[in-house]
Amino acid sequence: MGNLDSQILSFLKLLSELGSETEFQKIQIEPQALSPAPSPEPRKKLPSSSGPLVGFVPQSEIWLELGPPTLPSIQLLLSTDDTALVNKNQVTILGDDLNQLPHGTYPFAQVILVAGSRLTDRQDPTIFSRIAQAYQANGCMYRAAQGRIWLRLRKGSIESGFNFRALGQALFQSISAQVPEVEACEAVFITSDPQTVARIVAFSEGFYRARREILKERFSKIGQDIYECRNPLDCESCPDGPVCDLIKETVQVIKKRREDFFGKEKP
């Protein structure tokens, strides 16, 4: 079993523990409800997965604000090639649904699990962009960076019937439309309380450490040193990859020049 598979199992164990402490509901989206997702508007093209601003909801129009900088928030994407670990088209909610939350500000965690026999982390950037597109199509303001997620929703969106079922359906449609490697997709939304979201944040730290170790191993195999980077994605998934590649090449050139002039440093 791969390291990332063990991380999914660890998350499912944590989710089970949280479910025993917090009221939760599970919603199965029927296959016939999944129709092709709408194409993104050209003027709102999403350039990367690094957290573009999608839509805009001014302060005066906010009904619900989830995961603002003052409260804990986390967005996680967990992937595996074992489809048995993911409940296809299932939405799990810990806490209140969007249409049950009173006007206000709340902590928020969103965990998307994807599985497919041909799935690799190379599909991560496309999946992240499709997540953003699902929010965009429903008129939400969506920001995501460094693992955090920040949403703003209008009252009109909630009154029109927008909830986590509709959001999950939009996410499943959006991802399946552009990422054929994804054979199963599951979504978990948490609004219960800051402590519960903080436990998901704590879990994410271990998850990113595991990915970091995988990344270090990849660098070691090609004889390069990994540099300090706080991006939660690995290099193959990161939209800043070309820039970082250029930096690494430049560092190698400078290092060689220093060695030629001063001699090789002793370990």
Domain residue spans of the chain:
3-209
CA 58 to chain centre: 24
The predicted pLDDT at position 35 comes to: 58
What is the rounded CA–CA span in Å between residue 83 and residue 116?
A: 6
State the pLDDT confidence band at 73, using cuts at 50, 70 and 90: very high
Under CATH, which number does the domain 3-209 receive? 3.30.1650.10
- Residue 57 or 190, more confident: 190
Residue closest to 201 by CA, chosen among 17, 76, 21, 52: 76
The predicted pLDDT at position 245 comes to: 63
Element (H, E) at 126: helix 124-137
225 has a pLDDT exceeding 50: yes
154 has a pLDDT exceeding 80: yes
Compute the average pLDDT of residues 190-202. 94
Dihedral over Cα of 168, 52, 123, 40: its sign: positive
Question: Which of 173-177, 195-199, 230-234 comes out lowest in average pLDDT?
Answer: 230-234
> Are 75 and 143 contacting, i.e. CB atoms less than 8 angstroms apart?
no
Question: Which of 42-51, 102-111, 148-157 comes out lowest in average pLDDT?
Answer: 42-51
State the pLDDT confidence band at 222, using cuts at 50, 70 and 90: low
% of residues, the chain, pLDDT over 90: 48
Residue corresponding to tokens 């970091």: 212
Residue closest to 78 by CA, chosen among 222, 195, 211, 196: 211
84 has a pLDDT exceeding 60: yes
238 three-state secondary structure: coil
The predicted pLDDT at position 145 comes to: 79
Phi, psi dihedrals of residue 148, rounded to the nearest 5°: -85, 160
Phi, psi dihedrals of residue 75, rounded to the nearest 5°: -120, 125
State the pLDDT confidence band at 40, using cuts at 50, 70 and 90: very low
> Are 215 and 226 contacting, i.e. CB atoms less than 8 angstroms apart?
yes
Compute the average pLDDT of residues 128-137. 88
97 three-state secondary structure: coil
The predicted pLDDT at position 15 comes to: 92
241 has a pLDDT exceeding 80: no
